[in-house]
Amino acid sequence: MPASSPIPVPALSIWALPGIPEVTTGDDLVALIADAAGPALADGDILVVTSKIVSKAEGRFVVADDREDAITAETVRLVAARTGPSGHTTRIVQNRLGIVSAAAGVDASNTPDGTILLLPVDPDASARAIAAGLRARLGVEVGVIVSDTLGRAWRDGQTDHAIGAGGVRVFEDLRGTTDAEGRPLTVTLPCVADELAAATDLVKGKAARLPVAVVRGRADLVGPLDLPGARSIVRALETDMFRQGADEAYADGFAAGAASRAV
């Protein structure tokens, strides 16, 4: 916000933390982040930590020549698959965390040659542990989000999303409040955790080693460490209209239709 701004308006500052070194198995992320953030953190700040460094600290490397095998191992449910002109098959799957994404979050970029990196074991627990550690060490009430880059249905490209959250609200629940005309905002449930993750991707970049960013200005979203985690963002299967790809659902329906006639 420009210093000349005449009256207070809602504003955010977002900045990447410089000086986070290459993370390896067993590293103490709380110490690395605290050292990088220095005394700059304040009550109500929200840190967004790229899941890659959480995975690395947890030693989630797998020596694998075949990324496809690792994806299969991480997959709980195949949602859709599509083979492109190159012959490569992209699999959209739901992983053990409930997250629907391409390749189950298995990552082969920014990892040592011959290794791939799995997602953190429990990103909500990781986020809570980092938040708890930073609160204890620095004496400031911060929230932590663990982010991952995900593709989307219907829209090209990717945006960063929250896959873990500790001490920060993932939804801003406006249900029960009213609009400017006094009518209820019945279905509005902004996923602020995903919006925070997306916002920080704009300063973290993909190729640079800037895996942590800080958002200041939404202290109202920071709270106790036992707030619901990012797992609560996952839509329940029974209400998910896109729980299966169109081709897969059609094929299942076709088989069932053919069988119904055969009987």
3-state secondary structure at position 214: strand
* DSSP code per residue over 135-153: HHHH----EEEEEEEEE-S
134: tokens are 């930073």
Which residues from 33-62 bind a second copy, rule CB under 8 A?
Answer: 38-40
- Can residue 66 be called a binding residue for a second copy (CB under 8 A)? no
Which residues from 116-145 bind a second copy, rule CB under 8 A?
Answer: none
Site map (CB under 8 A) of a second copy, residues 202-241, x = contact: xxxxxxxxx----x-xx-------------xxxx---xxx
CB of 144 vs a second copy, minimal distance in Å: 17
- Can residue 115 be called a binding residue for a second copy (CB under 8 A)? no
Q: Using CB under 8 A, which of 121, 178, 223, 228 touches a second copy?
A: 178
251: tokens are 């094929």
Q: How many Å apart are CA 104 and CA 150, to the nearest integer?
A: 10
Phi, then psi, of 89 in degrees rounded to 5: -100, 125
* 129 vs 149, beta carbon nearer a second copy: 149
- Can residue 175 be called a binding residue for a second copy (CB under 8 A)? no
Interface segment toward a second copy; rule CB under 8 A; list 66-74, 123-131, 138-146, 149-157: 149-157
In degrees, rounded to 5, the angle at the alpha carbon of residue 85 between the alpha carbons of residues 81 and 90 is 25
Determine how many CB atoms are found less than 10 A away from the CB of residue 44: 18
Q: Using CB under 8 A, which of 10, 87, 139, 224 touches a second copy?
A: 10
